[in-house]
Each structure stands twice: as C-alpha cells, then as structure tokens.
Amino acid sequence: MSTPAYDAGRLALMLNELRLPTIAPLWPEFAQRSDKEGWQATRLLGALLEHELAERAKRRIERHRAESHLDPTKTLATFDFSMVPMVSKAHVMALATGDAWLEKGATALLFGPPGAGKSHLGSAIGHALIDAGYRVMFTRTSELVQKLQAARQSLQLPSALAKLDRFDLIILDDLSYA
C-alpha cells in the first residue's frame, strides 16, 4: 500500500486551515532532511511541532508584553539595586517569579519618595512575570479611574471590569496622585 503524495500547495492550504503558520515555511526543509537522514515519521512530526509550539510561546509573550503597557527599558537587568540599598534584591527576585503570591491573590505595595525607582521596579517585576507566563497590565491609577468612570457612564462597566479580570496582575502607578 503506497502513501498518498501531497503537493506543496495543498499542504500549505491545510497548514493554513489548521492554523500552523510556523510549520508552513519549515516543513519542506525538514522533510528533505528527514528523507536524507532516514528519520522516522514521529521524529519529523515532533521536530515540526516543537518549532510551532516555541513560536506560539514567543508570540504570546510578545502579545502580552505589548498589551501590558510596560516601559521596555525598565527591566530587572536595568534596575540598579545599589542605588536603593533598602530594597532586597532577593525579595524582588522572589516577587518576580510570581508563583507564590500571585496564585494566592496577594498584593505587593511599593512605597517611597519620588524618584526612588518604584515605577522602574514595578515595571521590572511585570516584565519578569510576563516572561514567566503571566498577563500583566501597567497603568497610572488616575488613568484607570477615568476609564472606569467613563465605562460606568456609558453603561459599559461590567465589560470594562471583565477586561481587567483577564490580567493576573495590574500594576497601579502613582497611587497617591489619584
């Protein structure tokens, strides 16, 4: 019994229909290599699917980073812990994993004088949490209050709250100015 041959156009259409955009440009090279090196079908399929999953994870992180409104320059790598000696780097790194406190629904509050790095530290923790797979939103408290008031006036408050509920963490900046 022979295996049916598929032409490249038909395979491209099927991959598009199945929403596998990463495999589409990769499969010809992988198939050629598979034929040349005598791979089993499971190895070929596994290699293609690994690339698809890795690309999806990368796109998901990029999408979450874009929707977070975090400053891309304010990361843990750019935060100078020596400038703020009262901040424990170990404690910040523990917060950046998010697994213990976010799952419990706990709150973290960053207090200090203006220019102490609170916004930078909040953004940095947010970036680390996005890398760990969480959804984060960064906003000024006054902007969020204005959006929610506008939503209430237009009778869209439940919808606005549902959108906020999609996030694992909402970082409110400048809380004292609200």
pTM listed for this prediction? 0.78
DSSP string, 83-103: G-TTS-HHHHHHHHH-TTHHH
Helices 89-97 and 118-131 meet at what angle, rounded to 10?
40
Q: Which tens digits make up the pLDDT trace of 139-159?
A: 999 999 999 999 999 999 999
What region, left, alpha or beta, does residue 81 occupy, with left being phi > 0 and alpha being psi -120 to 50 degrees? Answer: alpha
Q: For the domain 69-177, what is the CATH code?
A: 3.40.50.300
- For the cut 60, the answer to whether the pLDDT of residue 84 exceeds it is yes
Tokens read off for 20: 């596998």
- For the cut 50, the answer to whether the pLDDT of residue 112 exceeds it is yes
Q: Give the side-chain half-sphere CA count within 13 A for 67.
A: 17
- For the cut 70, the answer to whether the pLDDT of residue 100 exceeds it is yes
Q: Rounded distance, CA 137 to CA 169, Å?
A: 6
Which residues neighbour 95 within 8 Å (Cβ) at sequence distance 6 or greater? Answer: 101, 108, 125
The pLDDT score that the predictor gives to residue 1 is 45
Largest CA distance in the chain: 77
Q: Rounded distance, CA 164 to CA 148, Å?
A: 10
The pLDDT score that the predictor gives to residue 177 is 61
Domain ranges of the chain: 8-66, 69-177
